[in-house]
A and B are shown apart, each in its own frame.
Chain A
Amino acid sequence: MNPFTKHTGIAAPLDRVNVDTDAIVPKQFLRKIERSGFGKHLFHEWRYLDYEGTRENPDFVLNKPAYRKATVLLTRDNFGCGSSREHAPWALADYGFRVIIAPAFADIFYNNCVKNGILLVALKSDEVESLFKQVTQKPGEQVSADLEKQTVTAPAGKPYHFDINPFAKTCLLKGLDHIGWTQQFADKIRDFEQKLTQEKPWLV
């Protein structure tokens, strides 16, 4: 996994609440058996006018010239709800997004993003609102995120502090191999399994 330390990039405002993973990457693109190449399908139904994805919808935020190179996504509450598909963070990362800012994220989606080097920043609703105003009024402005310091800095220069689970922070900063980390505790897993065999043999 790519480590995440700091990132500065153009922020695109996606002004929708409850953006579900079906909207992030629709089901017709889930038949692949690889992790790569999902970026072109990101937000397919909003981004394109046709099913084949050959004609862009000029009204969709990511198709507007000022936001075309966005790497920071600013959005609303409950982003990433619905299906557990990790194809959603794969698509976001493959498109180029490194940071997503919203008031809150869906649980499974949050875990999936941590595993894919995407920083999810949960800010208070009024802070998100203020960022929306700033990046809408001045399209193409950049937003910076510093994971070590746990701050996001808006175009207007005001830094916002964000909270993050300390383990998620470590994972992102180091680009941690999650399985390798757990495997350090192989003896504890073995002990647990031995106890299971004795106490709850029907579960073995």
Chain B
Amino acid sequence: MPKTMYEKIWEAHLVRPSQGDTAILYVDRHLVHEVTSPQAFAALRETGRSVVHPEKAFATMDHNVSTHTRDWSLVEKTSRVQMETLQKNCKQFGIKLYDFADAHQGIVHAIGPELGITQPGMTIVCGDSHTSTHGAFGALAFGIGTSEVEHVLATQTLQQDKARTMLIRIDGTLKPGVTSKDIILAIIGKIGTAGAAGHVMEYAGSAIRNLSMESRMTICNMSIEAGGRAGMIAPDDTTFEYLKGREYAPKGEMWERALAYWKTLPSDPGVKFAAVVELDANTLKPQVTWGTSPGQVVSVEDKVPDPESFTSPVDRTAARHALQYMDLKPGTPMAGIKVNKIFLGSCTNARIEDLRDAARIVKGRKVHQDVQAIVVPASEGVRRQAEEEGLDKIFKDAGFEWRFAGCSMCLGMNDDQLKPGERCASSSNRNFEGRQGPGGRTHLMSPIMVAAAAIEGKITDARKYL
């Protein structure tokens, strides 16, 4: 019987099938960060349990690190306690930590792929919802809570129920200036923020095949914003070429064995998915969010919608709330909305390709006088590579601040935050109320749209700069 990629990976990791209770699924790799792990380690100590496979866990600090400095003495006190707690826990339990000032420190979802920790066919979990990013390699990857972090540390397994499958088929060719960020925003707009609840999403079609690994990661990253348990893309030569030679990727004969297995992973022809969604890449335009949920999105050519235009009363109320919070009036053209902050960063869109694309637009131009613009590479590895390519100079010459790696203003848990009433063009993943700082207003868009907004001080169609 034909199987989906999800079903193949599920079956390959099944330690014990459900017998009217729950299945137990083996976890290949566990990524750990400072915010969602301290209580898990503390509980292990309280119950006298240990970490069964410290070699399968990798830790870093990203959520509350400062992107201004790597000077430990300047770290804010409560953040420091959490960071020191991670250091202590990793030391005690023997877990590899990419520490505060490590050359490979970065957002956990950036360094996993960069170091080759993330591989096709794996199960990967992390106490962070954007773990779905790793699905871009044909891995089953999803976010878990702290109790589950503790469960994985203690048993290397998770209690899981099998999800339904959803095929997202995107055929056609993206027009210049339309990116993978626009694909995923359009999909969330189409199916809604709970549209994929209970489903593992598999993205397929000619438009997906033509994407780089970086672009595929952007799509899988935001699967959670559609409510998906996970997002996946079948591995292919693009995947294998990206992985080959990376630090933790298999080598020599082991590479050949792994490769042979990886090639068996894609969903079988003719397999049935529980749900199918289609999107035409040919007609897609750059997307921008207008509200406080990633599904509240339109194209940059559109206007802020009228709440009364929504058919469901729940959507109408949500739109009214959103417009009030965002201080926007129905009918306002999206292009032209003024912004004060520019954030090019996050696990969604701050990889090398994103920085290159944005730099191409910024080059030789200046950031608008009314905005503060920051570039926060997703990892120190990305930062180094960008500096080798001279991208930092392009950004700095234009008036951007060039920062160290971290989650930064995506979630405002560190010193990068929006002030009340500030409006931000952001390459991140969530436009929730207060997400980037209490009272802050977020418009999600692609890195090149962010770059164009930096220059004009307002939301604008980046295609004019191509």
Contact = CB atoms under 8 A, between A and B. Distances in A.
Interface of A: 15-18, 20, 22-23, 26-28, 30-35, 45, 51, 76-78, 81-86, 89, 104, 106-108, 111-112, 115-116, 165-167, 170, 178-179, 181-183, 185, 188-189, 192-193, 196, 200-203
B109 interface: no
B35 A188 contact: no
A31 B146 contact: no
A102 to B, nearest CB: 11
A32 B26 CA distance: 30
Nearest to B29: A203
Interface stretch (B77-85, B206-214, B272-280, B365-373): B77-85
12 contacts: A18-B194, A22-B435, A26-B438, A106-B197, A111-B144, A112-B148, A166-B20, A170-B21, A178-B151, A181-B159, A202-B254, A203-B28
Contacts of A22: 411, 430, 432-435
Nearest to A180: B47
Contacts of A193: 26, 156
Contacts of B289: none
A32 B194 CA distance: 30
B302 to A, nearest CB: 21
B258 interface: yes
For chain B, the bracket of interface size reads 35 or more
B270 to A, nearest CB: 27
Given A76-B314, A82-B129, A182-B157, A33 B147 contact: no
A17 B433 contact: no
Contacts of B85: 33
A81 to B, nearest CB: 6
A166 B21 contact: yes
B194 A104 contact: yes
B127 interface: yes
A107 B24 contact: no
B155 A84 contact: no
Contacts of B224: 82
Contacts of B227: 78, 81, 106-107
A106 to B, nearest CB: 6
A171 to B, nearest CB: 9
Given A33-B82, A35-B39, A167-B21, 19 more contacts: A22-B433, A27-B412, A31-B35, A45-B433, A77-B194, A82-B224, A82-B432, A83-B128, A84-B129, A106-B194, A106-B197, A106-B227, A115-B147, A167-B20, A182-B155, A182-B159, A185-B15, A189-B24, A189-B26
A203 B318 contact: no
A31 B293 contact: no
A78 B79 CA distance: 31
Contacts of A178: 147, 151, 159
B345 interface: no
Interface string B215-256: 000000000100101000000000000000000001000110
Given A77-B314, A111-B144, A167-B22, A189 B156 contact: yes
B346 interface: no
Contacts of A17: 314-315, 317-318
Contacts of B157: 182, 189
B82 A111 contact: no
Nearest to A81: B193
B317 A31 contact: no
Contacts of A15: 317
Among A30, A31, A178, A183, the one with the most B-chain Cβ atoms within 10 Å of its Cβ is A31
Given A78-B227, A200-B261, A23 B250 contact: no
Contacts of B39: 33-35, 86
A84 B197 contact: no
Interface string B413-455: 1000000000000000010111100100000000000000000
A185 B24 CA distance: 9
Ranked 10 nearest A-B pairs via Cβ:
A112-B145, A33-B38, A115-B147, A86-B145, A84-B143, A202-B250, A78-B194, A86-B146, A27-B413, A31-B78
Contacts of A18: 193-194, 293, 318
Given A86-B36, A108-B129, A182 B24 contact: yes
B374 interface: no
Given A115-B148, A179-B150, A189-B15, A51 B438 contact: yes
A199 B164 CA distance: 27
A28 B121 CA distance: 36
A153 B251 CA distance: 61
A93 to B, nearest CB: 12
A183 B321 CA distance: 47
Contacts of A192: 15, 26
Interface in B256-285: 257-258, 261
Nearest to B143: A84
